[in-house]
Amino acid sequence: MIHKRLRQAVLLGLTVLLALLLPLTAVSEEYRTLQEGDSGSDVLRLKTRLYELGYFRTLNLTDDYSQTTAERVKQYQKKNGLKQTGIATPELQQQIFADERVVRTAMPEATSAPAAAEEDVEWPETDERGLLAAGTEPFIYENTEQGLWAYISDDIHVEIRRYEDPAAPMIWFETTIELSERTKLRSFMVPGKKKNTFKQPETILAAYGDVVLAFSDDFFGYRTRYEKKNEGIIIRDSEVIAESTVKSTSRKYPPLEILALFADGSMKTFESDEKTAKEYLEMGVTDTYAFGPILVKDGALSEGLSSYETTLRAPRTALGMIAPRKYLVLTVTGRRKDSKGASFHWLAEKMLEKGVTEAMNLDGGNTCSLIFRGQLLNRTPDVKKSEIRYVSGLIGLIEEE
């Protein structure tokens, strides 16, 4: 009897293993209707197939039929001229699994206002780095309707483009930066000796003159004022401001991982406790930003991203390096009807798409700011000052004397 039961258990195990080894698209012809609130292996198979067709941006999927799943099904239905119910009927699943268009890219395509209007811009002649000849007056372009802004001089090249994905829905800004050896990303902090005071972004920037560009940093001042410990390893302009951090195994959010800026314009990401402040200085680091999670490391998606929810969306700011002195800033609006925000995974994949080799998420939420020559781009023009969060600092650019 024992041997018989053992043989049955082995056969059952082999059956389950064989089922798992079968291609995900090789499912039974019989389907049940799937809708929001359902769960199971058939939900996971459906979502994996939708990933293959480009309706999910990551394979880090669950077996729950969530609101996001329903939205992706609606996108498929819209793309194929079907009634947009968000419900996967047996007939719809048969069509989805039979669909031969495997693209593995985000659908629908994001629309960009600048893409259609950029031909109207008379761009100046620049060198191979996109910079003007020495002594040339800066080129400045600002067009809110187009969603295109630019500042080009002999030291700085900044282009900002606004993009929209109505199906998500989401609005985001991609800021590309290229710098000469004479300039660098700057840390704009509240003037004075105290490092944990807060001011409105425009008040902070006013103390630095004509700031070309500014965006959110790691909001370290909040931690230095209210937490008194676990502030992260904070270095600004080669000055150590804080050294207390958490272990890399901590579940604290933010994880206080590090994006380090070196004197040569390169960037590198590190675990929260991987180096000390002294070691960073000895390595040639001029500034560290402690937040996280790390999005891209050594040209690949950060392994730590797997511990974060793939569908959690919010206003975000992320900074990454394409090459030394060449950077990308992603600023995503959120908590609005026309833009729900982005997930960490979306940020990471967008960074990779743009050729970024090192990138980290910075402070977002109501702190999220993108300022071009005094104009706050990522908030509506009628935003009240009281709705703009006070901060302890920003990252940005100013023409060096």
Nearest to 57 by CA among 24, 99, 104, 93: 104
Q: What's the CA dihedral at 173, 176, 179, 185 to 10 degrees?
A: 40
Q: What is the pLDDT of residues 176-219, one digit of tens each?
A: 999 999 999 999 998 876 666 888 898 899 999 999 999 999 99
pLDDT at 55: 79
Is pLDDT at 25 greater than 50 in this prediction? no
Calculate mean pLDDT across residues 279-289.
Answer: 98
Strand order in 211-216's β-sheet? 186-189, 393-398, 211-216, 370-372, 375-376
Calculate mean pLDDT across residues 233-249.
Answer: 94
The residue with tokens 């197939």 is: 49
Q: Is 382 helix (H, G, I), strand (E, B) or coil?
A: coil
Calculate mean pLDDT across residues 27-51.
Answer: 84
Residue 17: strand pairing partners: none
Strands (E), 7-123: 111-112
Q: For the chain, give every domain's residue range.
A: 2-98, 111-398
Rounded to an integer, what distance in angstroms lies between the CA atom of residue 255 and that of residue 7? 49
Rounded to an integer, what distance in angstroms lies between the CA atom of residue 342 and that of residue 311? 8
Q: What's the CA dihedral at 138, 173, 395, 267 to 10 degrees?
A: -100
Is pLDDT at 341 greater than 90 in this prediction? yes
Model confidence band, residue 264 (pLDDT cutoffs 50, 70, 90): very high
Within 13 A of 299's CA, how many CA atoms are on the CB side?
Answer: 2
**Homologous superfamily of 2-98:** PGBD-like superfamily/PGBD (1.10.101.10)
Helix (H) or strand (E) holding 171: strand 170-179
Q: What's the CA dihedral at 28, 66, 345, 27 to 10 degrees?
A: 0
CB 198 within 8 A of CB 367: no
Q: Model pTM greater than 0.75?
A: no
Nearest to 244 by CA among 270, 266, 222, 272: 272
Q: What is the pLDDT of residues 135-158, one digit of tens each?
A: 899 999 999 988 999 999 999 999
